Structure 1
Amino acid sequence: MKIIVTGATGFVGSHLVRSLDGHELVAIGRTQVSGVEQFIFRTLSPDTDFSGCFNDVECIVHAAARAHIMKDEAADPLSEYRRVNVEGTLNLARQAAAAGVKRFIFISSIKVNGEQTEIGQPFSSQDTPAPEDFYGVSKQEAEHGLRELASETGMEVVIIRPPLVYGPGVKGNFASMIKLVGRGLPLPLGAVHNKRSLVALDNLVDLIITCIDHPGAANETFLVSDGEDLSTTQLLQGVAEAMGKPSRLIPVPARLLQLGATLIGRKAVAQRLLGSLQVDISHTQKCLNWTPPLTVKQGLQRCFPNHQD
């Protein structure tokens, strides 16, 4: 099968490309991709002409996006997210449908569902979308447009909403946490009893590959995780173990951490560390007969391939 991967130099896309054995690959992007049979230079924008890109292509995995940016310097961030993630995505999808591409897999985000859950009340694929930031809004609007396009054209659309993805080369908040644990600094996070769903990079890629040709994936929305929810305390302990480092966690009550973070204007940071975000993957598992191949422990170990027990 001939497959297009967008965002093929990104964290998810690059790993996907390396994992797609037995398929003819085409990468669309702004940067040359090594190890791919064909590379086509295009930017993701509302007016990009993709003609000639889809010859014999049966499936597109669309992982390119304007990613969530902590310190956005755009004059109008929402408009910029919409320009790339909504208008750019739908422009690509319309041209793909017109060219006869059978399936379009869209890597969305759990942020479409929202930012937090109560413990024991996970997000599901049937929930009414409730995005709270511009990135989540843009992903939700893209999903809506893709579903309409599927209805109009018959091109199958598959939507995957991952929570935080971790693996070798991870960046952002997870990378910052790894650095803190690696320095052996005492952290006041030894008594956090929240629950958060994460997904190992290998587990996400395995699900994407499953969705390429699984008949049950057509026009479905899938949530994905490792199937094991961790507290922040448990996650830090797991990272330390995978690194071969001691976990120096001080048991400070979460309510005191929340109060302190609010007083110094870091409420959003506290939410990510102290709040819960769980996802229900039962629909994904049942529909696709899919089980995450890696446990959390195995996923964390793959973040540190040079560590030897």
Structure 2
Amino acid sequence: MKKVLITGANSYIGTSFEKYASEKYKDELAVETIDMIDGSWRQKFFSAYDVVFHVAGLAHADVGNVSEEVKAKYYKINTDLAIETCKKAKKDGVKQFVFMSSAIIYGESAPYGKTKLITKDTEPAPANFYGDSKWQADKGVRELASDRFAVTVLRPPMIYGKESKGNYPVLSKMAKKLPIFPNVHNERSMLYIENLCEFLCQVMILGKDGVFLPQNAEYSSTSEIVKIIANVRGHKIIVSRAFSWIISITSHIPGKIRNLTNKAFGNLSYDLEMSKYDFNYQLVSIEESIKRTES
């Protein structure tokens, strides 16, 4: 049995993983969590653990209106803390360090009407300080890898699931209240939390190192997600191309309206072939994942 230490308490990914591993892999993974806030973690020896799973970090901010002091805090937590934790894990003899990077290192999603497909040849190009803070950590922890110290970096797209934060709850709220919704075809990579947790369990049990881009087995479309949510919730909603002109107009209105439109209906996808590995983790389909999220 491998012992796993999650560095960062009360995170959505960390708590979800601990619960999943205890239910599905209790004979193979023993998981504990340590809080990183007060600094006492520096006095704890990591030598008792086979894997350190680092999830501590600051989530996306309103990047358009942030002080230099706040930006510095993002680098301190998202970059410096991640690298310091990785160095400690290596020094204490841990065999594997797993780090949650993000698709944000490739920049923002393409605006409405444009495509953005990330392939193996796509170079990271963060669009703001948040993305750069994750990218600097991504690079920094990988530099510490060695033959005796495996560094595993995940760059997932939008993660969603029951009680998740971010864009999904906004879509869910609209799907349950709006009478109509535009049928717009966009293409996004997403990752259901249980698929992510299965992926994490597999790379830890197998001791995989390197950079990974896990995603669901199929792309998602904003309109399709709204339609499924409404159906699951028993809410009647009309999803029609007759209303797509609204999105076309709002995508050209400068400022917040355009940003929100592009955020909801923009495109960002990973090449599906890049997310296939020699183990199966894409266990839950888009439709089933939404049913479980909304239940």
TM over 0.5: yes
**1:95 to 2:88 alignment:** yes
Q: Of the candidates 242, 249, 259, which is equivalent to residue 259 of structure 1?
A: 249
**1:25 to 2:31 alignment:** yes
User: Matched residues in 2 for 1:209 and 1:96: separation?
Assistant: 19
Q: Of the candidates 130, 134, 153, which is equivalent to residue 125 of structure 2?
A: 130
Q: CA deviation at 1:247?
A: 2.5
1:278 paired residue number: 269
2:187 paired residue number: 195
1:157 paired residue number: 151
User: Matched residues in 2 for 1:4 and 1:126: separation?
Assistant: 33
1:143 paired residue number: 138
Q: CA deviation at 1:242?
A: 2.4
User: Matched residues in 1 for 2:116 and 2:108: separation?
Assistant: 13
Q: CA deviation at 1:155?
A: 1.6
Tell me if the contact between 2:156 and 2:214 (Cα under 8 Å) persists in the aligned partners: yes
**1:177 to 2:167 alignment:** no
User: Matched residues in 1 for 2:66 and 2:128: separation?
Assistant: 15
Q: CA deviation at 1:86?
A: 0.4
Closer, same or farther in 2 for the Cα pair 1:291/1:13, shift >3 Å? Answer: closer
AA partner of residue 97 (structure 2): F
Tell me if the contact between 1:12 and 1:201 (Cα under 8 Å) persists in the aligned partners: yes
Q: CA deviation at 1:272?
A: 1.5
Counterparts of 1:5-16 in structure 2, within 5 Å, are 5-16=6-17
User: Matched residues in 1 for 2:292 and 2:61: separation?
Assistant: 26
Alignment length (residue pairs): 285
The worse-fitting range, judged by mean Cα deviation, of 202-211 and 229-238 is: 229-238
Q: CA deviation at 1:18?
A: 0.5
1:54 paired residue number: 46
2:60 paired residue number: 68
The worse-fitting range, judged by mean Cα deviation, of 139-148 and 1-10 is: 1-10
Backbone CA RMSD of aligned residues: 2.4
Q: CA deviation at 1:57?
A: 0.6
1:268 paired residue number: 259
Closer, same or farther in 2 for the Cα pair 1:74/1:16, shift >3 Å? Answer: farther
Tell me if the contact between 1:106 and 1:158 (Cα under 8 Å) persists in the aligned partners: yes
AA partner of residue 12 (structure 1): I
Q: CA deviation at 1:53?
A: 3.5
The worse-fitting range, judged by mean Cα deviation, of 243-252 and 170-179 is: 243-252
SS at match of 2:43: coil
Closer, same or farther in 2 for the Cα pair 1:133/1:148, shift >3 Å? Answer: same
For structure 2, the residue ranges without an aligned partner over 5 or more in a row are none
Closer, same or farther in 2 for the Cα pair 1:56/1:142, shift >3 Å? Answer: same
For structure 1, the residue ranges without an aligned partner over 5 or more in a row are 30-41
Q: CA deviation at 1:173?
A: 2.3
Q: Which has the higher contact order (CA 8 A, sep 6+)?
A: 2
Closer, same or farther in 2 for the Cα pair 1:203/1:44, shift >3 Å? Answer: farther
User: Matched residues in 2 for 1:162 and 1:187: separation?
Assistant: 31
Q: CA deviation at 1:120?
A: 7.4
1:137-157 Cα deviation digits (max 9, x unpaired): 111110110111114x84211
User: Matched residues in 1 for 2:272 and 2:153: separation?
Assistant: 13
Closer, same or farther in 2 for the Cα pair 1:284/1:261, shift >3 Å? Answer: closer
1:37 paired residue number: none
User: Matched residues in 2 for 1:125 and 1:139: separation?
Assistant: 19
Tell me if the contact between 1:8 and 1:17 (Cα under 8 Å) persists in the aligned partners: no
Q: CA deviation at 1:69?
A: 2.2
Tell me if the contact between 1:59 and 1:105 (Cα under 8 Å) persists in the aligned partners: yes
What is the TM-score with the length of structure 2 in the denominator?
0.87
User: Matched residues in 1 for 2:60 and 2:3: separation?
Assistant: 30
